Amino acid sequence: MGTIVYGARQTEVTFDDRTLAHLQVVFSVKLRRRESFLFSWRGRTGNRNALWIDPSIPLYFLYEGSRQPALNPRWLEEMSIAAGSVQGLVLGVEPAHDRSGSADDAVM
């Protein structure tokens, strides 16, 4: 399980490393453009959670594993579109994808 450490209060949120790798790409693209957005997800107990992601707030991605997971271009695209919407990025289930492409094909 990887962790997002966010804000001065160092709020910690855990996700599996594969999900975290996808979130890092989407967050990085938005923040590089100086764009803020809402990020929401369901906790392990089904509770709803949300963070306002803003370029001025410290953000750290901590991975448990040492390997970079292959990225799913379809999921990255869906997440990126959602992050730019009024509702914001609501983390859902990873869609199926053709695993024949390389991880390099997923760079946004």
- According to DSSP, the β-strands at 37-42 and 11-15 are unpaired
pTM of the model: 0.86
CB 59 within 8 A of CB 5: yes
Name the helix (H) or strand (E) containing 14.
strand 11-15
Q: Mean pLDDT in each 10-residue stretch from start to end of the chain (108 residues)?
A: 94 95 97 97 91 96 92 96 96 80 44
The tokens describing 98, both together, are 């053709």
Q: From CA 45, how far away is CA 99, in angstroms rounded?
A: 31
